Amino acid sequence: MLAVLVLIWLFFQFETGGTFLSSNNLSNLSLQTAVTGILAVGMLMLIVAGQIDLSVGSVLGFTGAIAALLSATTVLI
């Protein structure tokens, strides 16, 4: 799996002209995947404890809708 991951990284590095593994792009990727990572860790803890919780999807949808409304109505300086 790691070899395939490295091959995919190299493919995108060559296809984007060297900007895929730049610090700015890696920072953007980590910011975009932070929410998914936090949810994944929370679900991992629930599944390991044997407490399968199906409400995470509805909470994610609700908070996503609130975040979309706030980002559309709030002007960031």
Q: What is the Cα–Cα distance from 57 to 15, expressed in whole angstroms? A: 35
pLDDT of residue 74 exceeding 80, the answer is: no
What is the pTM assigned to this prediction?
0.53
What value does the mean pLDDT take over residues 3-7?
A: 95
| Domain limits, the chain | 2-73
Which of 35, 19, 63 lies closest to 43 in space, CA to CA?
35
Average pLDDT for the chain: 84
Torsion of CA 9, 30, 42, 3, to 10 degrees: 10
pLDDT of residue 11 exceeding 70, the answer is: yes
Q: How does residue 3 score in pLDDT terms, banded at 50, 70 and 90?
A: very high
* pLDDT tens column, 15-50: 999 898 899 998 998 888 887 888 788 778 877 887
